[in-house]
Structure 1
Amino acid sequence: MRRMHIHLIITAIGSILAAGLFAVPAQAAPVICGKVDSVGIQGDKYIVQNNIWGADTAQCIDVNQTAPGFTVTQAAHNKPTNGAPASYPSIFAGCHYALCTTGSGLPMRTNASGFGNLRTSVSMSYPSAGIWDAAYDLWFDPTPRTDGQNTGAEIMVWLNKQGSIQPVGSPVGTVSLAGGTWQVWFGNTGWNVISYVRTSATSSLDFAIDTFYADTVSRGYAQRSWYLTSVQAGFEPWVGGTGLAVNAFSYTTSGGGTDTTPPTTPSGLTASGTTSSGTNLSWTAATDSGGSGLAGYDIMRATGTGAFATVGTSTTTSYADSGLTPSTTYRYQVRARDGANNVSQPSGTVSVTTLSGGGGGGCSAVATVQNAWGNGYVVQPVTVTNTGTAAKSGWTVTFTLPAGHTVTGSWNASLTVSGQTVTARNLAHNGTLSPGGSTTFGFQASRPDGNTQVPSGYGCA
């Protein structure tokens, strides 16, 4: 069963690229062996990642910058087939854990005019030995996410498989798409995982992204307001894997061109209704002339004189920020984003100081481990309940991570980590709880392989 990819730490060359300092000239095809090594190719049009996220065994890939693609030249994996695979060596376009390729136009909203023009193709070679699948991985998020874990949907398109392995979840039907017949599987690992397993194996595929996404939406597993963030093709090996190869990969925006024009800057930002734990923002709408359409707004917040950070998004010209600290000064800016992920200049700044006192009501937090595997787990739901007699506006849950554990994604809460202490704060939509009312959030974490500990000491305020 497949879980999220480990956070990629790019190699020395890739780090410079990700920082946007300068472009690296073409070089000889590298061989990368580090667990989280990745390299940009063809002027950063694509990124190839080794991505050993589920094991500590050796794996090396020979990167082909011309095709583009890669070959697994060494793989010593031997994972049980009833658990997660060892890795996902792959090539991708778009944004994945703070690594973004150039010219992809991603993230792109799936109801944008250009989304129907997005196509991808792949040609693969398979060895006769080992246990593995050959699959696309298409990632979707409710927000135009460029880093961190996607929380919307993960579509896997299995071209081929060898051995007694199966996707996450259970089969829910069959469908004819992209020139083949596919068995459809559905599961949830903190986000929806929809897998399309071809009933007759193929070594190549060429399709429009919306071919599979439209089917996923029709089944109720995704929404047209979500964003495509990356298009990836590669392999999930459980046993062996040497000889697996992507001979050629492409991602194109044919027919619609690429929108490179940012929206206009939002104006007239104001704040009103400030309480001890929240405030309401409003502004004048931006406009977009680039063709991909206005997708929404990023809300950026700074505490005191600190740096601005994005704390939420909105598809309207208003936003309710909550979970703030009493008697604290905050500054806000808003920027517009279009369907091709072009962003405007930040708006003017508005400052607010929250009132003294709390939001009222007591609080409890109860956590359930939904799923766990060798080196990770999903905690969902964490149920937050107002145990007091007054309405509560804003809540904070703290808990302790065992040593060596790392939070890799979260949903329905904003998480910050200091040492082993994690602080979860409500989002705008779930901060107000009536007496006896409750809401939920969840998170995913990684841990040393074989460690069975989970977080403890959940406290709520």
Structure 2
Amino acid sequence: MRALTASAGPALGAAAAVTAVLAGAATAVTTLDTPRAAAATALCDQYAKATTADGQYRIQNNRWGTSAQQCIEPTATGFRLTRADGAVPTDGAPESYPSIYWGCHHADCTPGFTPVQASGSTFRSVRASVDTTYPAAGSATGEWNAAYDLWFDPTPRTDGQNTGAEVMVWLNHAGRPQPIGREVATVALAGATWDVWFGTTGWNVVSYVRTTPTSSLDLPVSTFFDDALARGWVQRSWYLTSVQAGFEPWTGGAGLAVTSFSAGTGPAATPAPDPSPTTTARPAPTVTRAVRPTSGRPICSATPRTDSAGGTGAVQTVTVTNGARARTGWTTVATLPAGQTVTNLWNGTWTQSGRTLTVRNASYDGSLAAGATTTFGYQLAATGSTATPATITCS
């Protein structure tokens, strides 16, 4: 969406922290690479890529979340999703992010691209344009989104996973998919109204969901970056590493197509100031999902407390509160203060890696009605602080 995710990177938003890395953030693999896109040449290998006929952009199948067959057919100015056999639960990450991009995707860069620092004048001139087509209304089109994915990193990264932010711009979506995190505001940008979502999954995922679908969008990349900057989710010192456009399918999606795409530098846009944006605000998120954009299943919250302190033997309890709809299964991920090691835990199953404590429901407390709560507790061997976790998320 990669929220522009999965995503990762999404999608948000993106969301996204899932077994496979997010769409737009697939692990480096050996790919089938067609030097130039040719009509009717299908790309079906998991990470198959092609270069557009003009040599400017890369097209990728990017099927990272399913073993089911997926194929895209490059065209002179984009691609079409011709086969989409997969079907993954809509309360988790999507199957893939078939897409076209300008920039770098895990060390695979388009010709002459250099990451663009958001504080420089060149960034103000970066513009992107996309035109898409969707299957006929009323047909079995599945569940998917159509989204830009803008990736930012604190360094001029050309390989590996970006760690700054993924800014997703949802042009359209079908079915139940929602971005990673929680809806926090509505804003007017680029001549339309957008619902704003925010979540984290190892990096910030900021998603803008158009309230009225569209099949095309042409805008300076700074349009959405400036809004995210005013909210404190990105930084001017960060670098734009890629502009991507494509689709995140959960089920179906054959017939989705990017009919044209362009991205690059042009006349600079007028820099925007950094005040707080004018929006219709919603309560700020307190927790975020640790997956790519999800659908249907509401977010939950996790609130820790210290029951007894005193170094070795300290006991803490976490209350998990469900959202507006019933769910089966929950997971919390906490960042423990330095020096804390969990020695025993009840009412859940757990693993600890470094300072990261992951707790999943036990067999008897995973089903939660709307608004219901459950608790788990654990005992610490603490060599330093016995404070509650610095961060804790629930999904």
By the TM > 0.5 criterion, same fold? yes
Which of 180, 194, 217 is equivalent to 1:205? 217
**What is the aligned-residue RMSD (CA, Å)?**
3.0
Distance 1:141 1:379 in 2: 23
Tell me the secondary structure at the aligned position of residue 215 of structure 1: helix
Of 170, 175, 184, which residue of structure 1 is paired with 2:182? 170
Conserved 8 A contact 1:8-1:51: no
Q: Unpaired runs of 5+ in structure 1?
A: 15-23, 257-367, 369-376, 388-396, 400-434, 443-461
Checking the alignment, whether the CA contact within 8 Å between 2:40 and 2:74 is kept in structure 1 is yes
> What is the CA deviation profile of residues 39-83 of structure 1, one whole-angstrom value per residue up to 9, with x for unaligned ones?
22245411111111111111100011x22x100000012222111
1:255 offset after TM fit, Å? 2.3
Q: 1:378 Cα shift?
A: 10
Match of 1:161 in 2: 173
Local SS of the residue matching 2:254: coil
Letter in structure 2 aligned against 1:160: N
Amino acid at match of 2:147: A
Partner residue in 1 for 2:91: 82
Q: Which residue of 1 aligns with 2:71?
A: 60
Structure 2: distance between partners of 1:130 and 1:161: 10
Q: Secondary structure at the match of 1:212?
A: helix
Q: List per-residue Cα deviations over 1:125-167 (Å, max 9, x = no partner).
A: 1114211110011000111111111111101100001101100
Quote the Cα distance in structure 1 between the aligned partners of 2:197 and 2:218.
21
Among 197, 204, 214, the alignment partner of 1:192 is: 204
Q: Which residue of 2 aligns with 1:109?
A: 117
Q: Is the contact made by 1:59 and 1:75 (CA closer than 8 Å) also made in structure 2?
A: yes
Deviation at 1:247, TM superposition (A): 0.5
Aligned partners of 1:77 and 1:241 also within 8 Å: no
Instruction: State the secondary structure of the residue aligned to 1:31.
Output: coil
Distance in 2 (alpha carbons) for counterparts of 1:72 and 1:205: 20
The one-letter amino acid paired with 2:98 is P
Q: Does 1:70 align with 2:79?
A: yes
1:386/1:85 Cα in 2 relative to 1: closer, same or farther (>3 Å)? closer
Q: Percent identity?
A: 51
**How many Å apart are 1:198 and its aligned residue?**
0.2
Match of 1:96 in 2: 105
- In the alignment, residue 92 of structure 2 is paired with which amino acid? G
Matching of residues 129-278 of structure 1 within 5 Å: 129-255=141-267
* Separation of aligned partners in 1, 2:179 and 2:354: 34
- In the alignment, the residues of structure 1 paired with residue 217 and residue 61 of structure 2 have an alpha-carbon distance, to the nearest angstrom, of 22
* Separation in 1, partners of 2:252, 2:37: 31
Q: State the Cα distance separating 1:232 from its structure 2 match.
A: 0.3
Give the TM-score, by structure 1 length: 0.54
Q: Which amino acid in the other structure matches residue 152 of structure 1?
A: G
Match of 1:325 in 2: none
- 49, 67, 75: which one aligns with 1:38: 49
CA distance in 2 between partners of 1:436 and 1:172 (Å): 36
Alpha-carbon distance in structure 2 between the residues aligned to 1:248 and 1:155:
21
Contact 1:118 1:252 in 2 (8 A): yes
Distance 1:382 1:190, change over 3 A: farther
Larger Rg: 1
CA contact (8 A) 2:57 2:101 kept: yes
- Say whether the 8 Å CA contact 2:193–2:210 is kept in structure 1: yes
**1:120 pairs with 2:131:** no
* AA in 2 matched with 1:34: D
TM-score (norm 2): 0.62
- Give me the whole-angstrom Cα distance separating, in 2, the residues matched to 1:247 and 1:10: 27
| Conserved 8 A contact 1:10-1:38 | no
* C-alpha distance in structure 2 between counterparts of 1:171 and 1:37, whole Å: 34
Question: Larger deviation: 245-254 or 3-12?
Answer: 3-12
Q: Secondary structure of the residue that 1:133 maps to in structure 2?
A: strand
Higher strand share: 1
Contact kept in structure 2, 1:45 and 1:103, CA below 8 Å = no
* Counterparts of residues 218-367 of structure 1 (less than 5 Å): 218-255=230-267
SS in structure 1 opposite 2:339?
strand
